[in-house]
Amino acid sequence: MAKASVTPRRCGNAQIRAKLRADLPAVRAAFKLPWSNGQTEGHVNRLKFLKRQMYGRASIELLRLRVPIAIAGG
């Protein structure tokens, strides 16, 4: 695998470059480390989907009943 170059100077927007420079250690770590927050983001996405699906249709009690079922895959 080719080594990725993480350099903020190639971005076109000055604000993006400044933020990347300020957070450069975190950006480099994101490419180097094997960990990801993808599983957490998947659960958050599923919960947001359930909330949108039930908006205006049910009370918070019914939503609380559906969340554990959805997380368990049911």
**Residues 2 and 31 grouped into a single domain:** yes
CA end-to-end span of the chain: 39
In terms of domains, do 29 and 43 share one? Answer: no
45 and 66 together in one domain = yes
Look at residues 53, 4, 51 and name the one whose alpha carbon lies nearest to residue 32: 4
Q: Tell me if 50 sits within 8 A of 67, measured CB to CB.
A: yes
Per-residue confidence (pLDDT) for residue 1, from 0 to 100: 45
Same domain for 44 and 31: no
- Provide the phi-psi class of 4: left if phi over 0, else alpha when psi is between -120 and 50, else beta: beta
Q: Do 1 and 21 belong together in one domain? A: yes
Report if pTM > 0.95.
Answer: no
Over the stretch 9-62, which tens digit does the pLDDT of each residue have?
565 688 888 888 899 898 888 889 888 888 888 888 988 888 887 777 767 777
Residues 28 and 44 in one domain: no
- Residue 35: predicted pLDDT: 84
Query: Containing domain of residue 51, as a range?
Result: 38-71
